[in-house]
Amino acid sequence: MEIMKAVLGLEDGQFVVGKGFGVEGECSGELVFNTQMTGYMESLTDPSYVGQILMFTFPLIGNYGVDRENFQNPHVCARGCITKEICEKPSFQPSIGSFFEENCLLGMSGVDTRALTIKTRVYGTMRAALVVGSDDGDYAASLACRTPSISDIIPIPEVSCKEPYHIYGSGKRIAVLDLGMKKNMITSLAKRHGDLHIFPYATGSDKILACKPDAFLISNGPGDPKQATDAIKCVKDLLGQVPIFGICMGIQVCALALGGETYKLKFGHRGANQPVRFKDGRIFITTQNHGFAVDAHSLPEGCRVSYTNVNDNTLEGFENQDLDVTTVQFHPEAHGGPRDTEAHFFDAMFRRLS
């Protein structure tokens, strides 16, 4: 089989040439890296990667093929995939190469991902362009320069549900604002018998209250949280009226609704090995995928930091008992990744509502 050319161009003019897989074409977005050793399909189908080209630091992906049962969205959400090597003869079929080809996706292997990761850690995330079927680095770099920054796009409508829907459960009624929710978040709520009412990103507070929820949950999602203006207004309107929980982008939306601030991280937290310290001193290993964070010092009176990232001391969770707000920056539903915090977060959530 003929090897396809491929090239990745960066906004600073650098480019790297590798081997293409999938189909010929081009894409552009923010180049980000993920440190997970497994769960490559969970990452590629995570809606929070919309607008980004995903690079894996682990040198080989695809060794166990493509397992659709673990998809977090029916489709791959990352705009492109960069890896050092893909496994051509996995333990299960289809291979990631054939899956990319069948689904008209763009990927590049044969890349020194370690060097690109180190560069990202030094200089921060960059806009990038992946061109499969060509090795024209100057063109790829120029395409990267023309790519909007992650804060200049509004990707949430692409991955939020289009209409409200209901998943019956015999337990507490949870209204969920879908900003690009991972499937396993629904799984974690449903297995605790939550009666789930899922709403699109632009839903107003009146429609949330109309379903008479016992709690309101704001999900993860892609892009800059300051662009989630409808969600911020909805949370602001509901503060003090119903218990509110936020996960990933949900924490950022809650902070902005309370008058706090968010900021862009230099290279973000993406992987399944992020340690966080709970307020009682316990350490949990968590799955994370975010490029923005809440400024802990900007939170108003009444808010208390509940989790802190052990690596860089960024805020990983806060609560406001007066307004009944509980949030985490990491993914307690995980998948793929450690399950350290699934019961810790979701069981505590349902106990509080009982």
AA letter at 111: V
Cα–Cα distance measured from residue 110 to residue 350, given in angstroms and rounded to the nearest whole number: 47
Cα–Cα distance measured from residue 310 to residue 10, given in angstroms and rounded to the nearest whole number: 31
Cα–Cα distance measured from residue 54 to residue 44, given in angstroms and rounded to the nearest whole number: 7
What are the phi and psi torsion angles at 155 (to 5°)? -85, -10
Answer yes or no: are the C-beta atoms of 155 and 46 closer than 8 Å. no
What are the distances in angstroms from CA 224 to CA 166, 219, 244, 250, 314?
Answer: 28, 14, 21, 12, 17
Answer yes or no: are the C-beta atoms of 285 and 310 closer than 8 Å. no
Cα–Cα distance measured from residue 299 to residue 286, given in angstroms and rounded to the nearest whole number: 23
Q: CA Rg, the chain, in Å?
A: 20
Instruction: Determine if residue 63 is left, alpha or beta; phi over 0 gives left, psi from -120 to 50 gives alpha, anything else beta.
Output: alpha
AA letter at 314: T
- Element of type H or E holding 235: helix 229-238
Cα–Cα distance measured from residue 327 to residue 306, given in angstroms and rounded to the nearest whole number: 9
Cα–Cα distance measured from residue 17 to residue 131, given in angstroms and rounded to the nearest whole number: 10
What are the phi and psi torsion angles at 315 (to 5°)? -70, 130
Which residues, 6+ apart, have CB-to-CB distance to 157 below 8 Å? 201, 202
Both tokens of 186, joined, read: 């629904």
Token pair 């362009």 in the structure block, residue: 129
Would you please indicate which residues are annotated as catalytic (active-site) residues?
248, 331, 333
